[in-house]
Amino acid sequence: MEPGSRPSGPERPTVIISAAEVGRANRARIVQALADRGPLSRADLARITNVPRATIGSIVKSLLSSGWLEEGQPRPPADGIGKPGTPLWFGRHAGLSGAIHVQPRRVVTAVVNAAGDILSTHRHKIPARTSTEGVVSVILNAAAQEFHHDMDELTGIGLALPAAVDRQTGEVMACTPLPALVGSHLRQRLEDLTQVPTVVEEDVTTLALGQRWFGQARGVDDFAALQIGDGIGAAVMLGGHLLRSRVGLSEIGHTCVDLRGQKCTCGLIGCWETVASNNWLRHTARQLDITTSPKLTPHRLVRLATSGDKAAQGLADMYAINVAVGIANLVQFLALPVLVLHGDIVGGGEYLRSRVEQAVIARTFPAHVSGRVGQLEIQLAHNDADACLLGAAASVLSRTLHIHV
Amino acid sequence: MEPGSRPSGPERPTVIISAAEVGRANRARIVQALADRGPLSRADLARITNVPRATIGSIVKSLLSSGWLEEGQPRPPADGIGKPGTPLWFGRHAGLSGAIHVQPRRVVTAVVNAAGDILSTHRHKIPARTSTEGVVSVILNAAAQEFHHDMDELTGIGLALPAAVDRQTGEVMACTPLPALVGSHLRQRLEDLTQVPTVVEEDVTTLALGQRWFGQARGVDDFAALQIGDGIGAAVMLGGHLLRSRVGLSEIGHTCVDLRGQKCTCGLIGCWETVASNNWLRHTARQLDITTSPKLTPHRLVRLATSGDKAAQGLADMYAINVAVGIANLVQFLALPVLVLHGDIVGGGEYLRSRVEQAVIARTFPAHVSGRVGQLEIQLAHNDADACLLGAAASVLSRTLHIHV
DNA sequence: TTGTCTTTGTAGTGCCCTACTACTTAGCGG
DNA sequence: CCGCTAAGTAGTAGGGCACTACAAAGACAA
């Protein structure tokens, strides 16, 4: 092959690793190993990483002196033989992140440590129909109040937005619930205010990071977090890394599952969202003469179904199948063994979860589901309320620690 | 968050980076930078990597002495000012890989260097209806013949199979065209024969690697290679890494695009393959009374269409749309800017390609297609014939060089 | 109480690798 | 021949892990 003209991809700069970066990367790995597995002694870490204890000792020493880790009370080994190891765990003020979760009607802020403890949190209302400046000032004020105590301790601030975010600049590209946020230079303004590095992420992305660092997917390298409600979003981790293109948006809710289906609000045909969103649920409920006084949600649907309403049971089954179709596509494509559900669908509880799981299994090859992989697990998020907040903190950790050497 | 019980994911071992690994990784990055961009001087490399020239000098020195790189004739810089740089490029016998491409009816072998030059190649027939032992012995003999000259120079052997392969063991899990290969311990037997480390990959995976190292996607970090013919397969690179779950198969051809569609041979409903495979093409042609004496292929279909056959034109449009639906899903999900097509569809030429591209654009959001991303590009593979062979070699390079530090 | 066994944590040295500075080499043009 | 620019190279410094040997801490038995 002649070394002639080449296609000019948007080039990722080639990186040469220096000794100092090795140190940073190794410290980060120790931190992540602890986050994944809980408190461990130096000897435990040495076994896991397959390096001499002395090496771990020196890495840990720097983490201890910088305040990331603390030594616990020595604990005798399981078989009672040998010197007790000293468990290492995060200090209460280690790896502090500022977390901001912007929702359509309010802003929630928190300070979170590396162990995932929420040290403080507050809520702030966003007035309806507010200008860009109005929304931004609510967010900035919320940040100023929440963070002013620990401002110099914060390693970073994470911002979870219900919006499409440009990965390079952090700029909001599109935001249905709060259109005012588009082009608001939010990251820059937060950094100007706080002097703390700030990372802006789409909310569903933070869900995956939050589950990975602090939640049900701790230590799990291959899984997806899905948010299913008014719309559908997903973030996938594969090999411990988020799936994200250098540029452009992930719109799994607008992938086609129904060639000859309904036209979606986005203009395309047969999007997954056209058959598995709250809108579909309400529209179909009306067609089936299922009426609930407030707007129908998966939660209310399941209440009806479990109270014996046949039509509601039928609708719940259809909804489960429609949700499952998109999930099954994800599983067929990427062979993900774990999926964590967030959003309104969580209100459907075990009733809905089991039906979705069965439907996904029915729509995927057995190889992914049984055999060596173990069971395919579809889980409901345990902490759906705080998930984005923890996720925002997790994105700070990922940013600071994941030296992708 | 209390460090209590954790889910036990199939754990990726935590790795600590040593100084020696830094050296290997940096040498690998220099090699890849050259493969991506063509011959470069040390100073060029230093600019690209943003490190001092002296550092590059020392890295290059070891690559020169180990025979990977050679110095070319010094070439004066573009503006004629300053000392001419010495271009570095792969030696003709640098990074030799053995490549084996197993097809349903034959085995093709080759020796390929790091520049992607095929130094020698041969074909061997596989007799019809052969036992496991029969197929294996054809492959082993082919390897023995092709490689016995350069056996100790080979950095590895790459094997591209039309089969689902277990990522950990290299064992064939399923193989429709050659069922005899299942459980044949092919990798082990090749390694026993040659004493050279061997990597076994599904053919479509090697296509992506081949395009990345030697083909149209050189230097491109985000793209997909698709094989569209009797079935549909895809391999995706994101951020320069292959998308692959730790375990389990990627079956994008069996993702659902048609909720209420036909039953697929795999047992699921509305798989992409049910509307975009050669089988669909032939079945629909019969329904439309389009007849060709031998079996219909995209190539023959386009010949009919361009010769004025209205029915064939209509069928080609439908085929393009059906192919586009699945590609559009991929683009919506992962925002891939480049897609390279392999397989029978390549026979459809520009006529078919442009129709597929238009249909994909019509089924994706403008954001991915225009704007900062640049145009969405759907390309036909230029070297479809040798693609898997080069891909097999590329998978060896990826394996030997991609120290995922 | 003491010695043995096992395991944990730590010095201290050596090696690998990149960063940095200063120098040599090489071509061009006046 | 000199000045200018850029490429390539010693040689030293420093960061960081590997390795070996050793001290420390508990369990247990003589």
Q: Which nucleotide is nearest to A52 if distance is taken from CA to C1'?
A: D18
DSSP B261: -
Q: How close B259 comes to chain A (CA, Å)?
A: 5
pLDDT, tens digit, for every residue of A42-90? 999 999 999 999 999 999 999 999 999 999 999 888 787 889 999 999 9
Q: How far apart are CA A298 and CA A290, in angstroms?
A: 13
Please tell me the least confidently modeled range out of A241-245, A387-391, B209-213, B341-345. A241-245
CB B114 within 8 A of CB B35: yes
pLDDT of residue A11: 60
What's the average model confidence in pLDDT over B31-43?
Answer: 96
Q: Which nucleotide is nearest to A20 if distance is taken from CA to C1'?
A: D15
Q: Could you give all domains of chain B from N- to C-terminal order, each with its CATH number?
A: 19-90 (1.10.10.10), 97-209+388-401 (3.30.420.40), 218-382 (3.30.420.40)
Q: How far apart are CA A26 and CA A18, in angstroms?
A: 12
Closest by CA to A205, choosing from A377, A396, A337, is A396
pLDDT, tens digit, for every residue of B252-306? 999 999 999 999 998 999 999 999 999 999 999 999 988 776 789 999 999 999 9
The gap between the terminal CA atoms of chain B, to the nearest Å, is 30
Q: How far apart are CA A379 and CA A258, in angstroms?
A: 26
Measured from Cα to the C1' atom, the residue closest to D28 is A81
pLDDT at A33 over 90: yes
Bridge partners (DSSP) listed for residue B97: B112, B156
Is A329–B33 a contact, with Cβ atoms under 8 angstroms apart? no
Q: How close A243 comes to chain B (CA, Å)?
A: 7
pLDDT of residue A4: 42
The gap between the terminal CA atoms of chain A, to the nearest Å, is 30
pLDDT, tens digit, for every residue of B181-238? 998 999 999 999 999 999 999 999 999 999 999 999 999 999 999 999 999 999 999 9
- Reported as type and span, the H/E element at residue B328 is helix B310-334
Is A6–B37 a contact, with Cβ atoms under 8 angstroms apart? yes
**Distance, Å, A24 CA → C19 C1':** 17
Strand, helix or coil for residue B366: helix
Give the confidence band of A173 by pLDDT, cuts at 50, 70, 90.
confident
Q: Tell me which of A368 and A202 has the higher pLDDT.
A: A202
CB B22 within 8 A of CB A22: yes
Q: How close A179 comes to chain B (CA, Å)?
A: 17
CB A351 within 8 A of CB A64: no
Bridge partners (DSSP) listed for residue B338: B223, B377
Give the DSSP letter string of B186-215: HHHHHHHHH-S-EEEEEHHHHHHHHHHHHS
Q: Collect all residues of chain B within an 8 Å Cβ-Cβ radius of residue A241.
A: 239, 241
- Reported as type and span, the H/E element at residue A46 is helix A42-49
Closest by CA to A268, choosing from B165, B369, B21, is B369
What's the average model confidence in pLDDT over A137-166?
Answer: 95
What's the average model confidence in pLDDT over B339-356?
Answer: 98
Give the confidence band of B367 by pLDDT, cuts at 50, 70, 90.
low
Is A252–B7 a contact, with Cβ atoms under 8 angstroms apart? no
Crossing angle for the helix pair A310-334 and A349-362, nearest 10 degrees?
Answer: 50
Crossing angle for the helix pair A349-362 and A298-306, nearest 10 degrees?
Answer: 100
Question: How many other β-carbons are positioned within 10 Å of the β-carbon of residue B110?
Answer: 24
pLDDT of residue A403: 66
Bases on strand D under 7 Å from any protein CB: 4-11, 14-21, 24-28
